[in-house]
Structure 1
Amino acid sequence: FKVFSGPAQDPKGRVVALCLPKGGDLTRREIDEYTKFVGIYGAKGLAYIKVNEWAAKGGEGLQSPILKFLPDATVNDIMTRTGAQDGDLIFFGADRASVVNEAIGALRVRLGQDRGLMEPGWRPLWVVDFPMFEHDAANARWAALHHPFTAPKEDQLDLLETDPGACLSRAYDCVLNGSEIGGGSIRIHRDAVQRRVFQLLNISDQQAEDRFGFLLKALRFGCPPHGGIAFGLDRLVMLMTGATSIRDVMAFPKTQTAACLMTSAPSPVDEVQLKELGLRLRARA
């Protein structure tokens, strides 16, 4: 089945199964709506298997347009791995790992909300072992996943030249109930390591000096290992109050165009203020 076998054999691909308890009552229309939803994240489709009477009928108790492509042994493995029971529904994601992670991750949250599966209470966690880099296929180059000053793990420095995609960073996020409330990293504090990262990102020595000369100079003089974390208190307040939008807890929320509806900012600027700042307005062509 090429839809699955292609991504499964691709080092950058991934195939996942998501079992929805008691999801067998979903209509075709509802499944189509979820298919459109994962399309927002780049997924090309959403395969599924409805588990009607697996316990009594085995494969004949399953319902799906993809079953004709799957050998019995594969179906048995799927049922075992997912732990699906009669009345459940299994969704599948198969594509590049980045697409599958985003699409099926978002689907999992959406299903939990729609089906009332969210558990009450606080669930904090740390996210660690972020990749250092992601490959920009459009421009055929590596890009920093966080920023180019995040330190790689000390025992993985050799991967900077040999396998950048496998190199992990010393970055971390604090997540509460699915929302990031804080994040940070240990920073690069050695000039030689910083230059190796710049070279990987196609930043020449001259470009590095022009753009980050002040930082490289500080590293050459010597600085201690350093890092930190920034917390978003407004996001935390949003969760504590049960609000669904961070704008509900901001004292002076802005629109997506950075306009303030309460103060009507930005407001017109007179010539005196512009002259004081050395600015001049030009009409659009």
Structure 2
Amino acid sequence: MKTKKLINYLLIFAILISSLMFTLPASAATGEYHIKVNRLTNTVTVYKRQADGSFKPVKAMLCSSGGNLTPLGTYRTTVKYRWRQLLYNVWGQYSTRIVGQILFHSIPYYRLNAGTLMKGQFEKLGSTASHGCVRLSAADTKWIYDNCSLGTKVTIYESKNPGPLGKPEPTPYPTYTGFDPTDTWSPGRPIIKTDPVITLPKKITLSAKDTSYDLLKGVKAVSYDGKDITDDIEIEDDIDIETPGNYTVTYSVTDKYGHTAAKSTTAVIE
């Protein structure tokens, strides 16, 4: 009889311990963020909880999922790893476990060293390329690691619509250094002497009847590390909006490293 009571006590104790081990933190139910992964378009959208309890999209990221190897569903993050060994003896930075063996992690590195990035895999961001995990740039996976507490809700779904913030442009990698181009913090990372890239329309068509024209429409400037610096563009032009004809518009921008780029296009007044 005593043995039976002891067994019952042990079972109750085991159940209690089990429930403590798998209970998410209390903050999980009211987490600050909800991360949604669109495995079809390889886009991640981060939603932030507002004061009224609703969630607003605040950040979009380019990712590489594993397609059907990345399981659909809603999960809560459980563990974080500063470095984590992945399949085939490669490594990932700033990993966060979503479910089972599925993680958010950086593009793989050949060794446990931030200067050994697999460049070819980085250039696949935005397309299906992983073995099931959700790969991100070093900056994006570090953002999740730093800002999203354990217990953060993650929803993996499929849609042709990339999400409310759209699909981000890929980060250019003009010169291979061994480092992720979005990694601006790792020791030993070289400063790349590459000028920003300015994208312009071939021609800007304006109307003499409309003086509210926007010379930044269709214009974009990106620094070598993929940062959008369009707001830093300076414009020079000799446009006389009341006189039809062709005018030259010159755009110039300087990034935070002091690298400058300039480019011109033609504005046509009709």
Report the structure, 1 or 2, having the larger strand content.
Answer: 2
Report the structure, 1 or 2, having the larger helix content.
Answer: 1
TM-score norm. by structure 1 comes to 0.28
